Amino acid sequence: MPQQCQKIILIPHRFLHLLPIHALILNDGSYLLDSYEITYSPSCKLLQLIKNQQRPNFEKLFAIQNPTNNLSYTDLEVETISSYFDSAEILAKEKATKTAFNSYNDFSSINCLHFSCHGYFNINSPLESSLLLANSSLHKLGFNNRCKGVSGELSEMSNTETKTENLTLAEVFGLNLSQCRLVTLSACETGLTDFTDLSDEYISFPSSFIYAGSSNVVSNLWKVSDLSTAFLMIKFYQNLRQNFTVSVALNKAQIWLRDITKKELQEWIKNNQVPIDVTLRHDLKYQLRKLSDNDQPFKDPFYWAAFSAISQ
């Protein structure tokens, strides 16, 4: 790699879409994102579309928050992130219904669209891949991460069970996101694509939100931890407030989460006045109980490598 190179734009093909290439280990033991700004694009055509969609404003947020009411740390995530915007419209828990989402008539003025919920990718029928909203039949299964995990298992369910109260990938194409700078999909499997398709027009959540008008999309590849994702997202938005690009803000947040020690995490929570209630405080203490102060609880790529930025 040339020494003057600082940024890499990755346009994967087929099965490479399933890999967190930014987390590849280099000869010196570091990761690719330690040395370069890493960003992705589903195709060259979409990369050109992104470059033509300049969205400088970043004041107005619309968020979906924990619609199935079984993700403890998503409430913390959205509550904290919303404080960083001048204007924030939030559909939380039981209010985050399909009807409420469809009734919102101001998407064309939104600068940031944030989904903190369950999601899944349907490999047998990609356009039916969904972000789960309130009253979805799937929430009765009692997920405790941000997705069900196994796409094939979900694809065997009936259409009425998986589509009724969900936002499908097909429906995303109909959104008007003409002022949207960023769509953040803090939900599982939202970065997957139909890798069986031999064409260059891959069907995925990122590509659908780009076609809808957003200039940047953050998504992920697998079943992510609710706890680590909340911290990663909060740090990501803190970085954006420092005027970093989306890809740099995400890369820096991933490195921060990977490297932070238990003691540093506790100090960060205190210094940033992250609004952790008594219940979550006890839960966090329990999850970190076996670690020493210098241990890094989120060092494993499982916790940070799933997320990638689709941007210019």
For the ranges 62-71, 185-194, 235-244, 301-310, the lowest mean pLDDT is seen at 185-194
pTM of the model: 0.89
In 118-254 the beta strands, taken as DSSP E runs, fall at 119-120, 130-132, 166-168, 182-186, 217-220
Output the pLDDT for position 141. 42
What percent of the chain stands above pLDDT 70? 87
Output the pLDDT for position 54. 84
The 10s digit of each residue's pLDDT in 28-46 is 999 999 999 999 988 888 8
Tokens coding 150: 């196994």
What average pLDDT does range 220-245 have in this prediction?
Answer: 95
**Local structure of 127: helix, strand or coil:** helix
- DSSP structural state of residue 34: H
- pLDDT band with cut points at 50, 70 and 90 for residue 113: very high
What is the chain's alpha carbon radius of gyration, rounded to the nearest angstrom?
18
Output the pLDDT for position 287. 94
Tokens coding 120: 């899944």
